[in-house]
Amino acid sequence: MIDTRLRHRIQPLIERAGKNLHQAGFTPFQITLAALITGLIAGFFISRHWMVMALVFLWLSGILDMLDGTVARLSDRVSPTGALMDLILDRMVEAAVILGFYSIAPEHALAHLLFLIGVIFNFSTFLAAGALLPNKGGKSMHYDPGILERTETFLLFTVMILWPAGRFGLLMAFNLLMFVTGILRLYRLIQQEQTAVKHDE
């Protein structure tokens, strides 16, 4: 939701930074890989209780994740394959971070497991929407908005890092909203299919 509604406000800054990276010779894949590596490092830092460094690398990963698509457009390298790779590696970062939290609080295993299940469900409906719904945006595939998007996930991780006592409750509430997001998207897809069938008839 935050990405959909507020991205345009920071897009000029992203464009400027992306232009600098492009001029410096960085490729979209290199930036995507850097976002993955810094995200994995953030998960490792969490597992070691190095929370300040975890926070720094978490948001560095998030910033790089915003920049790879911009550099792809500037270098005329936008492709569905690149977009799909970016989406998959984003999920790997989220998995690494949640595993980092699990390693320091195994008693919250249920919340961590539900998060991973929710990510699988939500990502599946997102990919289905990308494949079945028309692409009316400027990206290489249709990006279906939802209650929870990438920024909300990073904000969750940030609060979990800063507020240990609230981790379980926050994560369970987030999990609920994540399942609601996936269910609503699935409902829209079913409605779209039914409308298409009626139109064909």
Separation CA 16–CA 88 (nearest Å): 26
- pLDDT, mean over the chain: 90
Buried b (16+ CB within 10 A) or exposed e, 67-80: bbbbbbbbeeebee
Separation CA 138–CA 16 (nearest Å): 18
**pLDDT at 89 (0 to 100):** 95
* H runs (alpha helix) in the chain: 2-23, 28-47, 51-74, 80-104, 109-132, 150-162, 167-200
Report pLDDT digits (tens) over 144-154.
778 888 899 99
User: Would you tell me how many other CB atoms lie within 10 Å of the CB of residue 190?
Assistant: 10
Separation CA 124–CA 89 (nearest Å): 14
Q: Is residue 184 predicted with pLDDT exceeding 80?
A: yes
Kindly state the tokens that stand for 38. 């810094």
- Of 103, 112, 122, 125, nearest in space to 42 by CA: 103
Q: Is residue 192 predicted with pLDDT exceeding 90?
A: no
Interval 121-135 mean pLDDT? 85
Report pLDDT digits (tens) over 146-180.
888 889 999 999 999 999 999 999 999 999 999 99
**pLDDT at 80 (0 to 100):** 80
**Side chain identity at 186, as an amino acid letter?**
L
- Model confidence at 132, pLDDT cuts 50, 70, 90, reads confident
- Model confidence at 197, pLDDT cuts 50, 70, 90, reads low
**pLDDT at 201 (0 to 100):** 60
Q: Is residue 63 predicted with pLDDT exceeding 90?
A: yes
Do 47 and 104 contact (CB within 8 A), yes or no? yes
| 128 exposure class (CB count in 10 Å sphere: 0-12, 13-18, 19+) | middle
Considering the chain, what percentage of its residues have pLDDT values greater than 90?
67
